[in-house]
Structure 1
Amino acid sequence: MISQLSEERLYYDFVDQGIPAHLTGFGTAGSVNGDMMMAPEKTDWALKKTPGNNKYYREAVLYACLHDTRYDWQCEDGRDYYLYEAINLIADKTYFEDKIIEKLYKTESLALTGQLSGLLYLFARDGSSQAADALQKRLDQYLVILPRKRTYSFRTSPRESAECIAIWLCELYGIASFLQTIERMGEIMQNHPEPNVFWYDWLFDSAQNMFGEKRVMDRLNHKAKTSPGVRCFLDAVFSDRKSYEEARKHRQDDKITCDDLIQASADNKRFQVRSLARRMARTSTSEEICQAAQRIKNESDTKSKADLLNLFIFVDYPYDLTEILEYYALDDGLLKETTLAVLARFEDKRIHELATENIKSNTFVAESLGLLIKNFNNDYRIILDALKQYKDRDSYNFHSLVMDVKNIFEKRNAKQALDILL
C-alpha cells in the first residue's frame, strides 16, 4: 500500500499538472476558511483498478519525476521515495527508468539532479544494473567536465550535483565507492590550477555519517600512504579546516563598530553588513548597544540608518518600539525592509496589523510574513494568500518566505496548517 502522505503528495502533483479531479481516484474533504481542499482516497486501488485512466496517472507521475515540483527544495525533503512508490504501482517500470536516466544526463539543475539520482538509487537498490551504471556514468561525466570549467554557476551548482550523485553511489556500494571517488578527485586536484575545482564537504560529511568518522579517517590515512590522489585530497581538507579556524578566531577577536557597518555598505557589500551586524551584536556591551540606537535616531541619511539598524536584527532594541515603527514610515525601501527584520523580534498588536496589511496589499510579502512567527492570530487565510500571490519562486525572498511558514507552523499543530502546506 502506498502511504497516506505519499497519496496526498501524489494527488497534489496530479492537480498541479491539470489532471481533472474526477480522473484522479481521490475524494474531497476538508476546507480552509471556506476553500475546498482535496483529500486522497486509495490511490493504489485507483491505479490498479481503473485501467482506462492509467495513462493519466502514468503521465502525471512521470512529469513529477522529471521536474522538481517542490515549492522550495532547500526546505522540503526529496520526493524520490514517494514517487518510487507511485512508479511501483504502474506496470511498466522500465518506461520510467529510461526516461529518468535520459533526464539525468541532460539536466543542470542541482535540485532535479538530487531527485533523479535518488530515484535511480532506488531502482539500483532493487536490482537494476542499468540504473547503477547510469549513476556512475553521470558522475564520470562530471569528473571530466568540471576540470574544464573556468566559471561555476551558483544556480546549477555542478560541483554539488557531482557530490550528490557520489553520495548515492556511497549508499549503493559502501565505503569502497567513497574511497574510489576521493582518489579520482584528488588525482585531478593535484595538477589543476583552480583549488575549488571540486566541492567535497557534503560528500565527506555524508561518508562520515554513513560509515563512522573514525573508520573513514582510518581508511583515508591508510590509503594516502600509497595513493597521491588521496593524499592530495586529505591535504586539501586539512588546509580548508585550518583556514576556517583561523578566520573564525580572527572574527572573534575583531571589534565591530557602527562605522564598519556603514563602510561595508559604501563598498557595496550589503550581505557583509548583515554578517558584521551579527558579530557586533555578539560582542557589544549594553552601553555600546544603547549608543548605536542613539546614533540611529540622530542619523539623517536613511541609507546609513538602515545599515546601522541591522544590528537590532540580532539584539533587542533598547528603547521604545514606536521608534522602530516610525523608521518604517520613512520613504526608503531598504530602511523599510531592514525595519521589518527588526520588528520580527517583537510581539505587539501593531506589528500584527502591519504584517496583515502588507500581505493584503502585496507589499514586502516575504518580509511581513516573518512578523507572524511571534504575532500569529489564526492567520491561516493570510498565509495561504501570501503563498498564492508570491510568484517569483527562484528568488532568495521566496526561500525566506517558505522558512517563515515552516517556523510558524512548527509551533502550531493545526489541521489548517497541513491543508495549506498540501
Structure 2
Amino acid sequence: MREADGERTGDGRAGRWSRRLRQPRPRTWIALALALIAVAAVGTTASGALERRDRLADNRAQLDRACRGLLPVERLRPYLPDGSRGRSAEYGTLLGTDPGQGTRALFDCRLSWGGGGPRGENGAEIMVRATAVGEPDQDTPALPRERGETFPLALPPSALGGSQLTGRWAAATLVFDCPTGITRHGGGRTNDIRVRAVLPRDRSADEGADDRDGPARDLADRRAAARTAVAVADWVAERAGCGGTGLGAADSDGLTPAADPALCRWLDPGALGIGGGWTADPGEPYATRTGVCAIGHPDGRRVEAVSGIGGWGTRLYGDPDGSNIRSADGSWKWRGETPRASVSASSLCDGAGPGKRAGVRAYHRVAVTPPRGTADAEGWRRIPRADADRLTETARRALARYLAASDGWPRRSGCRDTTTLPERAR
C-alpha cells in the first residue's frame, strides 16, 4: 500500500505512526529553542568575561609601563576598571619631544580611567609633572605654610616640599636643586626643578574603619604621593645631568622632617621688649632656599622673619607692598587687610651643604603687624604715629637679631655683605 506521501507501508496505521515520529511535537520545539537561548547566553557571558579580563589585563600593563614605571603600581591597581580602557599621555623635553608642542614640562605624564571600577563612576586620575622653574608660583612650596601641609618624608636641606590632601586625591610638590643648571622653556637657565605628583586617595580600608584610623590613612596617602614625587625627581635629575645624591636616599626611614628649634630661638619677645603672651609658629627644618620664623599674639600682633634665595628672594622683596597707609601726620589709617611695618636686607650667601653655589643673592624681611583694634562705622582702623613708629623699631631690632643669630637662617646659609634696604609699610 502506498500512502499519500509516496511511502510504501504494509499497514495504514504504521504509516501514520511514521509521520508522527518525523514531526516533533510543539513542546519539543520549545525545549530546543530554550536550549539554543541558553547556549547563546552562556557564549555571550563567556565572551563578556573574556573581554573584561583582557581589558583589565591591558589596563594593568598600561599602569606598569606608565610614567616610566615611576608610579606606586600595587597601590593603584585596585582602581583599575574592567569596563573601560585607561587613557594616558606622556611627553616632555627630556623624552625628546619638541618643546614647541606646548608643554613647559621637562617630564609630564597623566593617566586616567573612567567609571566601572571599584571606586565608582569617577574612576581615578594620576598626574606627575617636572618643570624647570624660574620664579615660584602657586604650585611651588613656600614658607610659612600650615603644619599639615609639610612634606611627609625627610628631605635634604637643598630640597623644599609640601603636600595637600582633599577627599579624593593626595598631592605632593617639591623643588630640588640641579647644581649644573638646566634650560627653561622659552630660554634662560635655572637651578630649580619642581615636581608635582597627584594620586587618588586609598579608600580600600574605609568600610568599617575606626575614626582613629583617619590620621594614619591621611599620612599614608600623603606619603604615597610624596614617594612618587621623589622617584620622579630622581629620574629627571639623572637624565638632566644634575649630579649630586638622589632624594630617594632621604626616605630611608620614612620619617617626617624634624623641626629645628635652634633656627628660630633668636626670636625672643622678651629680648625684643614686646611683652608676654606670644606663641611661636610650628618650627620647620632648615632649608637652603627659604626659611621663616614667626610669633603671634592673641590681640592680632605678629612678628615674622623670612629669607629666600633665587626666585623666592626676589619675590620676597619685589612683591608690591600696596599703597602707603601712613597719613600726613605719620599715623596709619587702613581698611581691609591689616598693614605691616617691614624692613628688609640683602646678602650674598654661600649656602650650606655640598653642591650649593657660592655668592647667591638672598633677601631677608622682617614684618611686624599691629593689634587688630576696633574699626569705626565706615570700617577704618587707625593707630597713632607713636604706635606706628614702635612697630618699625620692633622690626629693626628683630632684623638685627635675625642677621646676627648664630643658628638663624642667614648665618647658617653663610650670608655676608649684608645691606639694609629702604623701609616699607604695608
TM-score by length of 2: 0.22
Q: Specify which structure has the higher proportion of helix.
A: 1
Q: Give the number of the structure whose alpha-carbon radius of gyration is greater.
A: 2
Structure with the higher fraction of residues in strand conformation: 2
